[in-house]
A and B are shown apart, each in its own frame.
Chain A
Amino acid sequence: MMTCKQATHLISAGQDRQLRRGERILLRIHLALCSGCSRYDRQLHLIRAACSRLFGNERE
């Protein structure tokens, strides 16, 4: 069973590489069951989008 700590590593790694199929499935199951990690996932997405805007990387 995936721990939350493991999930955070995978969520972050997913922003930098393609997760393997097994990783993706296990993570999806964990996120379905864990609101904390679901929020963590959304937070990391927001941080990426916000940085993109801050650094002027967004397309006009």
Chain B
Amino acid sequence: MTRELERARFDDTVLAELRGDLLRFASLQLRDDHLAEDVVQEAMAAALAGQQDFAGKSSVKTWVFAILRNKIIDVIRQRGRTINVTALSPEERSMDQGFEALFKANQHWKPDHRPSDWGDPEQALRDSQFMVVLEACLSHLPANTARVFMMREFLALDTAEVCAELAISTSNCHVILHRARNGLRECLEKNWFAAGEHP
């Protein structure tokens, strides 16, 4: 491939087209529009500046996303203690009430709310509609719940690290992660499984 073709893959239009995807990803992880904008700008600038390092081994999109991921990771780590995740928002309170409502007085599943059989997990993972609904469900998690969940599942910090970064107790950490998973599960059950978007 000639120099000119390589350079063309990196021009402003290529990055401009990626910008929407980059912003969506950053917003999902950070739950802060200003921060997301900043981090995407930095990633795009870094990508343009570092063109020489792009050896063409992967797609431009993969490469720029890798730059973005690292910047997001830095922000999440830096931000750690500046966000207070302990105060319950109305949405979080509502999620907890919603979860309680799935159980009978004896704390077993109500028949109507017993989890469904989602079928073959490998099929679901290959189902692009499943991923679309998952992303929507993630974006609907309350901000603080999402942030803790992202530190655990995106940053892949172990629970002790998450608690330390956020200065919360281990038990509180578990409560928030449980809340996140319940929220995602119910959202998926309602919007993907029940909606018939599966084989």
Contact = CB atoms under 8 A, between A and B. Distances in A.
A53 B174 contact: no
Nearest to B160: A17
Nearest to A45: B121
B71 interface: no
B173 A6 contact: no
Which secondary structure characterizes the binding site on chain A? Answer: helix
A46 interface: yes
A43 B115 contact: yes
Nearest to A38: B115
A33 B181 CA distance: 23
Contacts, number: 95
Nearest to B121: A46
B107 A6 contact: yes
B125 interface: yes
Interface size class of A (residues with CB under 8 A): 20 to 34
Contacts of A50: 124-125, 130-131, 134
A51 B65 contact: no
Nearest to A5: B107
A3 B189 CA distance: 22
Contact of A8 (B121, B182, B189): B182
Interface string A1-14: 00111101100110
Contact of B154 (A40, A44, A57): A57
A49 interface: yes
Interface in B77-116: 103, 106-109, 114-116
B166 interface: no
A44 to B, nearest CB: 6
A21 B152 CA distance: 24
Interface of A: 3-6, 8-9, 12-13, 15-17, 34-37, 39-40, 42-57
Interface of B: 29, 65-66, 69, 103, 106-109, 114-118, 121, 124-125, 130-131, 134-135, 138, 152-154, 156, 158-159, 173-174, 177-178, 181-182, 184-185, 188-189
8 contacts: A12-B178, A13-B174, A43-B188, A43-B189, A46-B124, A46-B125, A47-B188, A56-B65
